[in-house]
Amino acid sequence: MGHVDRHPWEPRYATRALRMQASEIRELLKLIEEPDVISFAGGIPDPTLFPIETVREAYRTALDDDAGAGRLLQYSVSEGDPALRDWIARHMAAKGIACDADNILVTSGSQQGLEFLGKLFLSPGDTALAMAPTYLGALQAFAANEPVYDELGLGPTNRTLDSYRDAAAATDGQVKFAYVVPDFANPTGITLDLPARLQLLATARDLEIPVIEDAAYTELRFEGEAAPPVQAMDVAARGTINQSRVIYCGTFSKVFMPGLRIGWICASHEIVQRLVLIKQASDLNSSALNQSVARHLAETCFDAQVARGRASYRVKRDRMLDALANHMPESVSWTVPQGGLFIWMTLPDHLDATDLLARAVAEARVAFVPGQAFFANGAGRNTLRLSYSLPDLERIDDGIARLARVMQAL
């Protein structure tokens, strides 16, 4: 070849690789390591809530006899541990989604579930419908398939079916699915009400597309009455999960802890069978040992962990809302979530949240995620996401006061 420059492989990369960019969230995670930074950035569960003693007991029990340990440390089936899938199926049934283990695929966190669904549905140029803003990790998971995003209109909207179809055809693709985080959405904290869920299902039915329901935060409701899962509404209408257009992505990361890397997809048997092939090709199987520990936790302390998380994060949300009311200038507004981990803030139009972040970290040692990262089209420069899940109450108070001082100095 003779010549070698800094990026010798650029001509050999797939076109998708050139579209994948570093995640601000992941980069910001590094800030958490610096103890003087108060981080409202990542949606990081509070480790003081992790059921560590139960985790110790679960690993001890799982590894107790040699034959059992040998099985859990071996290759295992791609669809996941049957006993864990049984537990998840019962958990889903209790939500009004009657199903069995054949409707469940175990994934390495719900992030992997989203990545698999992108692979299953999206060819380059196809359209994914999503709220704007929406979960950055979903945009990243889908990006490898080079899709186009169109804004899903729920509530009063002038979007017609033809406007969705025409926009998709303009990039030589079809509308392939609608993606939503219906409960306490990442990043906005907003929950879809019942009319919005009905509108979502009607739109999906008319466009003949599946709906991906990302339920990462669903268990963490502090107050108010829960609307049924979108999947439960569709199963009720269709009569069976196997005729449902809704694909539910669940995770143990927020109720137990992220480190096990165990989530799941609940969907029609036909779709699960397709996803099992994708799982095989992607990483063969998730750790059987970690699946066994997840099952132990699910069987012994799921409800207790949900109650613990709700109580703790509710107090933290209240503290952040109080601090915002006390410290923020009147030109700033924010959402009031009924659960989950996030508050969404809107700054005056002329402010740029990325500039604000640079100053906030440098001058006040406080961090958040600029909202623009959550918009596929680069909108939202004057928005930002605050997470109250990780810092303690004192640091929530202190961090919001610091952030308000930086904003007032602008």
Q: What is the DSSP string of 302-337?
A: HHHHHHHHHHHHHHHHHHHHHHHHHHS-TT-EE---
Which positions from 125 through 184 interact with its own copies, judged by CB under 8 A?
Answer: 126, 137, 140-141, 143-145, 174, 176-177
171 vs 282, beta carbon nearer its own copies: 282
CB closer to its own copies, 12 vs 350 = 12
CB-nearer residue toward its own copies: 63 or 351:
63
Contact status, residue 141 vs residue 114, Cβ threshold 8 Å: yes
Give the number of other CB atoms < 10 A from CB of residue 212.
27
Cα 86 to its chain centre, rounded Å, is 23
User: Which of positions 344-373 make contact with its own copies (CB under 8 A)?
Assistant: none
Q: What is the DSSP letter of 12?
A: G
The interface region with its own copies, picked from 94-102, 192-200, 206-214, 347-355 by CB under 8 A, is 206-214
Three-class SS state of 165: helix
> Is residue 121 part of the contact set for its own copies (CB under 8 A)?
yes
Q: Does 20 bind its own copies (CB under 8 A)?
A: yes
For residue 34, state whether it binds its own copies (rule: CB under 8 A): no
Q: With CA atoms as reference, report the closest residue to 306 among 185, 220, 184, 191.
A: 220
Stretch near its own copies under the rule CB under 8 A, chosen from 113-121, 186-194, 345-353, 354-362 = 113-121
Which tokens go with 307?
Answer: 């109650």
List binders of its own copies among 280-319 (CB under 8 A): 280-290
Least Å from the CB of residue 258 to its own copies: 5
CA separation for the pair 332, 379 (Å, rounded): 18
Of residues 229-258, those binding its own copies (CB under 8 A)? 243, 245, 253, 257-258
Count other C-beta atoms under 10 Å from residue 179's C-beta: 27
If you ran DSSP here, which 8-state letter would residue 45 be given?
Answer: P
- Using CB under 8 A, which of 91, 159, 205, 359 touches its own copies? 205
The binder of its own copies chosen from 41, 227, 271, 320 (CB under 8 A): 271
Q: HSE-up of 219 (CA within 13 Å, CB side)?
A: 21
Q: How many residues form the binding site for its own copies (CB under 8 A)? A: 93
Shorter beta-carbon distance to its own copies: residue 81 or 323: 81
Nearest approach in angstroms of CB 165 to its own copies is 13
Minimum Å gap between C-beta 110 and its own copies is 10
387 binds its own copies (CB under 8 A): no
Q: What's the N-to-C CA distance of the chain in angstroms?
A: 53
Q: Please give the sequence-ordered ranges of beta strands (E in DSSP) within 3-96, or none if there are none.
A: 38-39
In whole angstroms, the minimum distance from the beta carbon of 233 to its own copies comes to 16
Binding mask 45-74 toward its own copies (x if CB under 8 A, else -) reads x-xx-x-x--xx--xx--x--x--xxxxxx
Phi, psi of 300 (to 5 degrees): -100, -30
Sign for the pseudo-dihedral over CA of 230, 214, 48, 37: negative
DSSP assignment string, 205-269: HHHT--EEEE-TTTT-B-SSPPPPPHHHHHHHHHSSGGG--EEEEEESTTTT-GGG--EEEE--H
Among the residue ranges 84-92, 111-119, 349-357, 393-401, the one whose residues contact its own copies (CB under 8 A): 111-119
- The single residue among 39, 41, 76, 104 that binds its own copies, judged by CB under 8 A, is 76
Judged by CB, which is closer to its own copies: 176, or 385? Answer: 176
Quick check: 112 binds its own copies (CB under 8 A)? yes
Among 99, 154, 185, 278, the residue binding its own copies under the rule CB under 8 A is 278
- Residue 35 interacts with its own copies (CB under 8 A)? no
